[in-house]
A and B are shown apart, each in its own frame.
Chain A
C-alpha cells in the first residue's frame, strides 16, 4: 500500500565519506574521549609542576630535544601521504590506496622506532618522582594511540590487497586518515609541554 508522500530511498548510495558517514561520527566520539584524556593529563602536568619549586625537580636536565623534534618532523611530514591516501580513497582509486596505505604505515613504524629513543632521552624513570611519572604517562598515552593506529592501518592495507573488497572500505580509509590527523595534531601540544615548557616556562 503505497502513499504519494512516501519517501523512496532505494536509489541512495550505500556509503558516504567524511561527516556524512556514521563511522566518521564514531571516530569523532573516540577522538573526543581521547582528546579529553590528553587535556586532563596535560593539565595534570602543570598541576604537579606548581607543587614543586624546581622543574624538572632535583636538578634533573630538561629532556633532550633531538629525538622528540625529529619525531615531530616525521609526524608532520606523514600528513602528506595520509592526506593523499584520503583523497585517492574518495576517488575510489584502488591502486592509489594500495600505494598510499603502506607509506602511511611506514611513517607510523618509523615514528614508533624513534619513540623508543625518545623515552631513553627523557633521562628519568616513571618511578623516580612525580615528574617522571607524568612525563612517562603522557608519552605512553600518545604511543598507545600510535600503536593502535598503526595496527589499524596495517589491517586495512592488507584488506585492500586481499579483499573481500566493497565500496565502504574506501570510506574506512577516509576514517583511518581522520584518526591519524588527530594523532598528529594531539602531538603538537604534547611536544610543547614535554620538551618546550620546562625550557621556556
Chain B
C-alpha cells in the first residue's frame, strides 16, 4: 500500500495545466459568483445555506424548550407555539436535512468519481437558487406572522380551507414545491453523474460506498418526492380554486392526504438516513485504515433499505381506520427494515475491529451515531407494533423516537462528515480539541434532551402542546430536556467558532490529511477549478491505497473548452467527450421567474398563467446556444451539409 498523496508531477505540461485551470474558473467578482456553475462553488453555498437553516430551526426549537421548561409558562402563546413547531419541522426536513445531504453529494460525488463537474451544471445552479428563494419565502412569511401553523405534515382537514383560512398553509405548500423542485433536479444530476461521468476503470463494483449511498438516495428522491409535490399542490388547489380532493362533503377524503404525504414522508426519513450511511462508510474506512468489510453486503443493504422504505408509510397511520390485514403487513415491513441496517452496523464494527482505528473527531461522531441510532432503532421496532403505537401515538415518546433516529442517524454522521471533509473543502483542518468539545457537548446534550421524552410520552404528555399544568408532574423532566437543548446549542456554537477560527488559523491540511483511499483526496485541498489535472484511470476500490508510483491517467481532453469524459454505464469504459456549459446568468434568471410564479400562485391562481410567460422566456434563453463562439466540438460529418 502506497500512501503517496500528491498528484502526478506535470512540470512539462504546466502551461496546459494553467490553461485548464483558467478554462474551468469562474469570472471574478460578485457577478462571477452569481453565474457560477461549478459544483464546488454551488455545493459550498448549498451546505452553508442548509446549515444556516439548521441554526434557525434549532433556535426555534430552543424557544419551544424554553417555553416548556416549566409548567404554565407564558414565554410564547399557543398561536406562536403552533408556528414554532411547524416551522421547526418544516425547516429541518425540507430546508436542512435533504438539501444538506444533496449538497454533500453535489460537492463530493464529482470528486469521488473523478470528473470535473456535476452533470447538468446549470441545472445545479438553478436548483440552488430555487431552494434559497423557497427558504427565504418561508421565513419572510414567518416574520410577518404568517408562518404555517398546522404541523410539518399539514394534515387536512385542519390545513384545509375551512379550518385554516388565511395564507399560512399556502406558504407551507409552496415551500414544499420550491424545495422539491430543487431536490428532484439534484437527484437527476446525481444519477447522471454517477452513471456516465465516472473516471475510466471505475466499474460500478468499484464505486465508493458514499457514491452508492448517494445514488440510492437520488433514486428514492425521484420516486418519493413527486408524492408530496402532488399532495401539496392538491392542498393549495383545494384552498385556492375550490377543488375537493380532501373535502368529504363532495366525495373527497382526509386520509387521501395522509396516504400521499406518508408515501413521501416515510422514504424521506431514509432519504436523509442513507447519505449518512455513506458518510459513515467513508469515515470508518479512512480511520480503520482498511476498506469497509463486506462491500457487496453493504451495497445490497443500501438498495434493500431503499426499496423497503417505500412499503412502510402506513405505520404513520396506525391510529386511523386501516384494515387489520394492512396493519399486519406494514408492521412486518417496518420490522424488516431493521435487517439491512443491522447488516451495515455489523460490517462497520467488523471493519473497526479488524482495523487500526484512530479516534479523532470524525470517528467520535460515528461512534456517537452507533449509540444513538441503536436506541432510536429499538424504539422504532417498538413503534412498529400497532398496539404500542396506538398507546403512544402523538405523544412525546414519538418525538423522542424520531429525534433519536434523525439526529443520531443523520446529524451526527453529518457533523462527522464536516470534520472529515472540511480540510478538503477549505485546505485547513478543524481544531481537534474544539471538535472533541463539540462532540461531547452534543452527545450529552442530545441524550439529556431527548431521553426524558420517552418517559414523558409514556406518562401521557402529548406532543405539540404549548404548556401543561403543574399537577401533571412533568416539570422536572421537561426542565432537564431544556437544559440539554441548551447544551446542544452550545455545542453548535463551538462548531461555528471552530469553523471561523480554523478558516484563518487552522493547520494546513495538505492533499490527504487522513491518508484515505478515495479519489477526492487525490487532488489539492481545496480542489483546483478543474478538480484534476488529468482524469485518473482507476484500477481498484481504494485507488490511492493501491496505486503505483506513477498512476495511469487519461489524456487528450481539451484544455480550451470545458470538456468532460463520458464513460459507459457498467464498466466505465471511455465513450465520448462532452463539452460542458460555461458560467451563465440564465439559471438565476430562471429561478427568479419560477419563484415569481410559485409565490404569485399563493395569492392568485392566474399567477400560474402569466407567471409561466417569463419562465418560458428564461428557459429559452437558457437553452439558446451562445452565438459566435466556435468550439472544437462543432464538427460533424453530414451527407447534407448546409
Contact = CB atoms under 8 A, between A and B. Distances in A.
- Do A and B actually bind? yes
Interface in B600-642: 616, 620, 623-625, 627-628, 631-642
Contacts of B263: 40
B537 A6 contact: yes
Contacts of A131: 251
Interface in A123-177: 126-134, 136-137, 151, 155, 159, 164-168, 170
Interface string A7-32: 11111111110011110011001101
A137 B578 CA distance: 39
B552 interface: yes
A33 B553 CA distance: 36
A137 B577 contact: no
Interface in A22-55: 22, 25-26, 29-30, 32-34, 36-37, 40-41, 44, 47-48, 51-52
A1 B550 contact: yes
19 contacts: A7-B574, A9-B574, A12-B577, A14-B577, A22-B196, A22-B578, A26-B120, A32-B222, A51-B253, A57-B251, A92-B638, A127-B242, A129-B250, A136-B243, A137-B234, A155-B620, A155-B624, A159-B625, A166-B625
A51 B256 CA distance: 10
Nearest to B638: A92
B196 A25 contact: yes
Which of B11, B245, B550, B636 has the most chain A CB atoms closer than 10 A to its own CB? B636
Nearest to B637: A92
Interface stretch (B25-33, B184-192, B346-354, B516-524): B184-192
Contacts of A25: 119, 191-192, 195-196
A9 B260 contact: no
A101 B253 CA distance: 45
A13 B576 CA distance: 5
Interface in B210-243: 222-223, 225-227, 229-230, 234, 237-238, 241-243
A7 B554 contact: yes
B566 A22 contact: yes
A128 B248 CA distance: 13
Interface string B13-38: 10000000000000000000000000
A198 to B, nearest CB: 14
A30 B253 contact: no
B566 A20 contact: yes
B9 to A, nearest CB: 6
A93 B640 CA distance: 6
A126 to B, nearest CB: 5
B41 to A, nearest CB: 21
B634 A166 contact: yes
A15 B627 contact: no
B631 A166 contact: yes
Interface of A: 1-3, 5-16, 19-22, 25-26, 29-30, 32-34, 36-37, 40-41, 44, 47-48, 51-52, 57, 91-96, 126-134, 136-137, 151, 155, 159, 164-168, 170
Nearest to B196: A22
Contacts of A129: 244, 250-251
Contact of B230 (A9, A37, A95): A37
A2 B555 CA distance: 9
B251 A94 contact: no
Contacts of B238: 133
B259 interface: yes
Contact of B556 (A8, A19, A29, A94): A8
B577 A9 contact: yes
Contact of A6 (B244, B253, B554, B625): B554
Given A9-B555, A25-B191, A137-B234, 20 more contacts: A3-B553, A10-B556, A12-B556, A12-B574, A14-B576, A14-B578, A22-B192, A25-B119, A29-B188, A33-B184, A40-B230, A47-B253, A91-B639, A94-B641, A127-B244, A130-B243, A151-B616, A155-B624, A165-B642, A166-B633
B259 A94 contact: no
Given A5-B537, A8-B556, A164 B625 contact: yes
A93 to B, nearest CB: 6
Contacts of A21: 566
B575 A15 contact: no
Contact of A94 (B253, B566, B640): B640
B633 A15 contact: yes
A40 B256 CA distance: 11
A36 B252 CA distance: 22
B8 A1 contact: yes
A134 to B, nearest CB: 7
Contact of A93 (B247, B251, B616, B638): B638
A3 B552 contact: yes
Contacts of B576: 12-16, 20
B162 interface: no
Q: Nearest 8 pairs between A and B by C-beta?
A: A10-B556, A167-B636, A29-B188, A127-B242, A130-B251, A133-B243, A14-B633, A5-B552
Which of B12, B566, B623, B627 has the most chain A CB atoms closer than 10 A to its own CB? B566
Which of A29, A32, A164 has the most chain B CB atoms closer than 10 A to its own CB? A29
Contacts of A9: 554-557, 565, 574, 577
Contacts of A130: 243-245, 247, 250-253
A165 B627 CA distance: 10
Contacts of B633: 14-15, 166-168
Contacts of A126: 237, 241-243
A166 B555 contact: no
B10 interface: yes
B553 A6 contact: yes
Contacts of B427: none
Nearest to A20: B575
Nearest to A16: B576
Nearest to B187: A29
B260 A40 contact: yes
B200 interface: yes
